[in-house]
């Protein structure tokens, strides 16, 4: 019932041109405070700020499709969206869906089965690639570039953004990439006017925004696990840029947070509990209100996997209304979050941290990600009599391809004088 009411209210509000607001505050935020605009139109772009805008505008695009719907989604668990896609297919719309199977096959199984049974052309993404992109394209004319998954249980309490893009060059590039991904063909995604793709130009685009910031830089992201990005943010603060980072608390990022706070970055966090706003957004705003202002919005987390290996999509814009709207939301989120207190305990000596994911389950192939303070050292991953090595880069990072161990096997990594363990 809540969802139906929310959709109805959102549809009515968006019938007006320009910005809309909502009286419903985000979960975990104080009521009575001024809420930034939840939907903003600016030329060929329209920004939706979640949870205030609601999912209604995205449902409506699906329902109004005349010829085609293309959806690339990391995780799909929304019975309304699934039913709308099925209804489109039933009335003759060509509906195609790509779902991630590398990390989210079990979570996506129900949606995959339902869509396939209702005339939707649904495909799994490549077994060895995480499809973390969240994009909807309707009638080859309108694309929605999202930071959010279509997961109904997350809508009400999660900070996310979506950009509805009708720029012909952008949409053409998105469609071309979808066609190749759906057919399983390799492609270097076209940049369009202002698109940010992983794994082609994402890290360069993120670093360029940070490096060029001269006055202010505001960031919301779910992860802080890419050493070049962390270093760039720290360097920006040291050269006098006012850098603000808003995230959900997670001890996994404490090492990066400590490095950032020592450099003068202002970090504020929301607690990881259901009563608080969850920061799932992946956005940056640089020099808002100035001539070189820009905002980057997309699916890319600040992680090595997200920027260098996954399929991801974001958009970089200088539109003053979009930049201003995102900056206003980030400023409000920052004001309601708690300052991060740097942890005093420091690692001494050699250390490493490893994580692993299945690359190809049928062949027992694994990706082992190694973070360490051991630059230019041989890192070796071993499990059940199998092992493989790769040299760490200048920041102590390595990606090791380990073939052979069965699922769940304990993987031991040795790099320099450090040892750590993980499993897929």
The number of domains in the chain is 2
Closest CA to 333 of 242, 234, 253, 267: 267
Same domain, 337 and 233: yes
Q: Pairing state of beta strands 224-225 and 365-372?
A: unpaired
How confident is the model at residue 344, as a pLDDT? Answer: 61
Same domain, 367 and 304: no
Q: Pairing state of beta strands 365-372 and 397-403?
A: antiparallel
- Cα pseudo-dihedral 154, 115, 298, 37, rounded to 10: -50
Neighbours of 240 (CB within 10 A): 10
SS3 label, residue 104: coil
SS3 label, residue 7: helix
Same domain, 332 and 372: no
How confident is the model at residue 122, as a pLDDT? Answer: 98
How confident is the model at residue 37, as a pLDDT? Answer: 66
Q: Which residues pair with 284 in a beta bridge?
A: 219, 296
**Residue found under tokens 């090492």:** 255
Same domain, 254 and 396: no
What is the mean pLDDT for each group of 10 consecutive residues in the chain (424 residues)?
39 35 38 59 92 97 98 98 98 98 95 98 94 98 98 97 98 98 96 96 97 98 94 96 97 93 97 96 98 97 93 97 97 97 70 83 79 92 90 89 85 92 82
How confident is the model at residue 362, as a pLDDT? Answer: 67
Q: Which residues contact 80 (CB under 8 A, 6 or more apart)?
A: 3, 55, 59, 152
Same domain, 317 and 235: yes
Contact predicate 131/76, CB 8 Å: no
How confident is the model at residue 39, as a pLDDT? Answer: 80
Same domain, 321 and 407: no
Same domain, 320 and 357: no
Domain that holds residue 152: 1-346
**Given its phi and psi angles, is residue 18 left (phi above 0), alpha (psi -120 to 50 degrees) or beta?**
left
Domain end among 290, 316, 346: 346
Q: Flag whether the pTM goes above 0.95.
A: no
Same domain, 71 and 174: yes
Domain end among 319, 346, 373: 346
**Which two tokens mark 399?**
């990606």
Q: Which residues contact 78 (CB under 8 A, 6 or more apart)?
A: 55, 150, 151, 152
Rg (CA), the chain: 21
Same domain, 7 and 73: yes
Same domain, 99 and 164: yes
Neighbours of 290 (CB within 10 A): 13
Closest CA to 205 of 269, 299, 322, 327: 299
- In CATH, what number is assigned to the domain containing residue 32? 3.30.870.10
How confident is the model at residue 33, as a pLDDT? Answer: 42
Q: Which H or E run includes 106?
A: helix 105-117
Domain end among 346, 370, 386: 346
How confident is the model at residue 394, as a pLDDT? Answer: 84
- DSSP assignment of 353-420 equals EEEEEEEEGGGTEEEEEEEES-TT-EEEEEETTEEEEEE--TTSEEEEEEESPPTT-EEEEEETTEEE
Distance CA 149, CA 152 (A): 9
Same domain, 233 and 195: yes
Same domain, 303 and 406: no
- In CATH, what number is assigned to the domain containing residue 405? 2.60.40.350
């Amino acid at each position: 019932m809540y969802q139906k009411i929310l959709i109805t209210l959102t549809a009515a509000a968006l019938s007006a041109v320009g910005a809309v607001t909502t009286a419903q505050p985000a979960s975990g935020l104080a009521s009575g405070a001024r809420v930034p605009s939840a939907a903003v139109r600016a030329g060929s772009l329209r920004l939706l700020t979640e949870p205030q805008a609601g999912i209604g505008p995205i449902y409506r695009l699906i329902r109004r499709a005349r010829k085609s719907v293309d959806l690339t989604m990391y995780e799909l668990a929304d019975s309304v969206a699934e039913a709308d896609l099925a209804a489109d297919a039933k009335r003759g719309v060509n509906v195609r869906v790509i779902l991630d199977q590398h990390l989210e096959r079990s979570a996506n199984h129900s949606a995959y089965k339902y869509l396939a049974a209702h005339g939707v052309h649904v495909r799994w993404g490549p077994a060895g690639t995480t499809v973390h992109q969240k994009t909807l394209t309707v009638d080859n004319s309108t694309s929605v570039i999202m930071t959010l998954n279509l997961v109904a249980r997350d809508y009400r309490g999660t900070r996310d953004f979506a950009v509805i893009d009708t720029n012909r060059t952008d949409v053409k590039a998105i469609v071309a990439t979808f066609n190749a991904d759906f057919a399983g063909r390799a492609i270097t995604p076209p940049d369009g006017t202002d698109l940010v793709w992983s794994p082609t130009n994402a890290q360069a685009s993120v670093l360029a925004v940070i490096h060029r910031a001269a006055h202010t830089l505001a960031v919301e992201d779910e992860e802080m696990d890419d050493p070049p990005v962390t270093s760039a943010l720290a360097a920006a603060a040291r050269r006098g840029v006012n850098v603000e980072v808003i995230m959900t608390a997670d001890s996994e990022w404490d090492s990066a947070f400590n490095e950032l706070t020592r450099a003068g970055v202002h970090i504020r966090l929301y607690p990881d509990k259901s009563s608080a706003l969850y920061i799932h957004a992946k956005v940056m705003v640089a020099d808002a209100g100035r001539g070189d202002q820009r905002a980057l919005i997309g699916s890319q987390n600040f992680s090595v996997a997200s920027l260098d290996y996954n399929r991801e999509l974001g958009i970089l814009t200088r539109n003053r209304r979009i930049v201003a709207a995102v900056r206003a939301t980030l400023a409000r989120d920052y004001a309601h979050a708690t300052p991060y207190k740097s942890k005093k305990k420091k690692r001494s000596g050699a250390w490493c941290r490893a994580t692993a994911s299945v690359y190809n389950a049928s062949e027992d192939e694994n990706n082992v990600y190694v973070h360490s303070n051991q630059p230019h050292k041989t890192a070796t991953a071993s499990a059940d009599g199998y092992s493989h090595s790769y040299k760490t880069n200048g920041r102590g990072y390595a990606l090791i391809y380990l073939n052979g161990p069965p699922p769940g096997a304990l993987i031991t990594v040795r790099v320099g004088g450090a040892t750590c363990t993980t499993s897929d």
